[in-house]
DNA sequence: CCGTATCCATTGCGATACTG
DNA sequence: CAGTATCGCAATGGATACGG
């Protein structure tokens, strides 16, 4: 069915987007450049500390480009680098999978809660 | 903390394979069914507790199929369900990305260490 | 508005020991 | 060999306050 090439590029990929919020960040930057506040609102569930922290790591890793306009009030734009864009592309099938199976997944989550109690 | 809907498919996908070792497990089961011990050796860095735990979750979520042969000594086979296989397929591009950019990623990691110090 | 720093509760996870 | 249970430390991550 498939070839045995996966031992294991996945390791490398996970080292980069393994962070809890990184895939989401990548996703939201995939099409547009966004200001910090926009990202925060777009993701919502993430805390300020986490978002800043993960953005910083993505920046250091060369996936995200950060532009500080040095204005008052502050204005900072985030966007994907070319490199980051290639990774975002690799994330697309996963995103589509999630969309296609959203209902099944929702049921799972409720089952999990029932089990934990 | 309960969530009602997923803002993008990625949310749903992450809810399922968000666990630290789950993507690796999925990929090691993508081709063959494996015994517990085989998986443990294949992944290596994972601890016994973690592997059992994550396998259990994957099983409950209907991604992994578990067969206990009730033998002595114990023999338990793990494999992907049809559903699990669809998810494994969605992970392939990510795996390929990691393979293609393994060297860049390695450099990143060393840079990270330099930064932490 | 954007970013840093601190405190502190919660969790993650490894080590270890025990069962069938 | 496969799985469960417990203990305890280290990392995670949220809340809050402060500064440009």
> Tell me, what CATH number does B70's domain have?
1.10.10.10
Average pLDDT for B43-64: 95
User: What total number of domains does chain A contain?
Assistant: 1
CB B89 within 8 A of CB A3: no
Task: Please give the residue range of the domain that contains residue B32.
Answer: 3-115
Is the model's pLDDT at B82 over the cut of 80? yes
**Whether B112 contacts chain A with CB within 8 A:** yes
Contact B54, B25 (CB under 8 A): yes
Mean pLDDT of A10-14: 90
φ, ψ for residue A21, nearest 5 deg: -110, 0
Mean pLDDT calculated for residue range B18-39: 94
The pLDDT of residue A115 is 60
List chain A residues with CB under 8 Å of B94. Answer: 9-10, 13, 90-91, 94
Q: For B90, list phi and psi in degrees, rounded to 5.
A: -70, -15
Mean pLDDT, chain B, whole residue set: 89
**What is the arithmetic mean of pLDDT over A24-51?**
95
- For chain A positions 66-105, those within 8 Å of chain B (CB to CB) are 83, 86-87, 89-102, 104-105
Angle of the A82-100 helix axis to the A102-116 helix axis, nearest 10: 80
Task: Look at residue A5 and tell me whether its pLDDT is greater than 60.
Answer: no
CB-CB under 8 Å, B61 with A112: yes
Residue A113 is predicted with a pLDDT of 66
What's the confidence (pLDDT) of residue B91?
95
Q: How far apart are CA A63 and CA B2, in angstroms?
A: 31
End-to-end CA distance of chain A: 40
Residue B62 zone, left/alpha/beta (φ > 0; ψ -120 to 50; rest):
left
For residues B9-23, average pLDDT? 91
Average pLDDT over residues A39-63: 95
């Amino acid at each position: 069915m498939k070839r045995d090439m996966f031992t294991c590029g996945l390791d490398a990929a996970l080292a980069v987007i393994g962070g809890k919020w990184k895939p989401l960040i990548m996703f939201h930057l995939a099409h547009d450049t966004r200001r910090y506040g926009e990202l925060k609102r777009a993701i919502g569930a993430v805390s300020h500390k986490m978002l800043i922290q993960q953005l910083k790591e993505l920046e250091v890793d060369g996936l995200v480009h950060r532009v500080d306009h040095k204005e008052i009030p502050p204005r900072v734009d985030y966007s994907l680098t070319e490199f980051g864009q290639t990774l975002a592309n690799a994330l697309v099938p996963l995103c589509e999978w999630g969309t296609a199976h959203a209902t099944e997944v929702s049921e799972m989550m409720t089952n999990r809660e029932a089990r934990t109690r």
